[in-house]
Amino acid sequence: MKIVVAVDSFKGSLGSLEIGECIKKNILQIDHDIEVVVKGIADGGEGTVAVLSHALNAELCQMKVHNAYGQAVDCSYAIDRKNQTAVIEVAEAVGLAKCSQRDPLKASTYGVGEVILACLNQEISNFIIGLGGSATNDAGIGMMEALGMKVTYTNGIFNPLEVEAIDLSNIDPRLENCHFLIASDVTNPLCGAHGATAIYGPQKGVSSELVPVLDQALDHFADLVSEALGMDLRNQPGAGAAGGLGFALMSFTHSKMQPGIELVMEKSHLEAEIKTADLVITGEGCIDGQSAMGKAPAGITALANQYQIPVIGIGGSIKEAAEAMHDLGMTAFFSIQMAPVSLEEALRKEVTERQLGLTIRELIRFMKRLL
């Protein structure tokens, strides 16, 4: 029997590869003859660097960058030197988890530009960038400042509301020879009722009163970019990703956007393993209605269905709307929780490992009895 394990991270507890290795260990405790293939899974957000560095056999690196509010933080990224490719996770530099403030008029993507610049200095020309989890809503102004764009502000300091002019003459010329693959599931435009500010701004501290003001400011920045470049990409699907960082990457680099889960599955050669499997185990921290809307378990279930492979879902918790996963072809899903427990307790790594191991061992025992 061959089992492919591809489970997204249980946020706040275990990463994707940690979960996969835990499942593998417990499967083999029951039957050493089962072939278990572990693949890391991410969708462009948390864990993207770890998963893709493993899939690409890339070198994990660390550097100090400025977070969204200019404070020094550690940022992990990965480099595949053989293929001159870097993997960058926006959340590692300017993510919500990297700062405690929520002030969208001070939050800058400068740190993302710092990582790109460090990679350029290492002769990297291909970039994979995961856009999930950003704390910013600056349309990539900060990132482009780090890469050489000059911005004139009304009061001389960074503020998306006070951009008067931009000068592109000093943008790093090496970007012209680079290619960017952007991992994001967001299809929103930069501005408007469905734009970055209106839809995602509130979680980053944008008040209801500030939404139209900041949205107008990003529209003004898009006007300046359009005038300077002779093209207007503000309405392109994905321009609103990561607070408009998608817009900057589309406008200033040779880029292509791809759904995060598709990109990760492609780079990890997941299809080749699934097509010869007898069972696929997938899941995430909470399996609910959102799981069926383009998230990792849905993508993996769809892929397994192409080859008529049964799929088991494993979650830290299960909500009633998770039944939508059955419509996508998931065979069954299970929670690892065995008794009522606080969220704080459930998120402890040792608790997750223990409960996950118990659940997997019982599932394998049941499967072996049926065969």
Structure tokens at 138: 């600056």
Residue spans of the chain under pLDDT 50: none
Q: Are 144 and 219 in contact (CB under 8 A)?
A: no
For residue 152, the model assigns a pLDDT of 98
Between the alpha carbon of residue 246 and those of residues 85, 89, 220, 237, 337, the distances in Å are 19, 13, 16, 9, 38
| pLDDT tens-place string over residues 281-328 | 999 999 988 787 767 899 899 999 999 999 999 999 998 889 999 999
Residue 44 confidence (pLDDT): 86
Q: Tokens 């960082």 appear where?
A: 245
pLDDT at 353: 96
Computed on alpha carbons and rounded to an integer, the radius of gyration of the chain in Å comes to 22
Share of the chain above pLDDT 70, in %: 100
- The pLDDT of residue 170: 98
- Enter the pTM of the model: 0.90
pLDDT in the model for residue 246:
97
Q: 163 to each of 74, 110, 114, 166, 282, how far by Cα in Å?
A: 29, 16, 21, 8, 46
Catalogue all structural domains in the chain, each as residue range(s) with its CATH number. 2-41+269-370 (3.40.50.10350), 48-261 (3.90.1510.10)
pLDDT at 308: 96
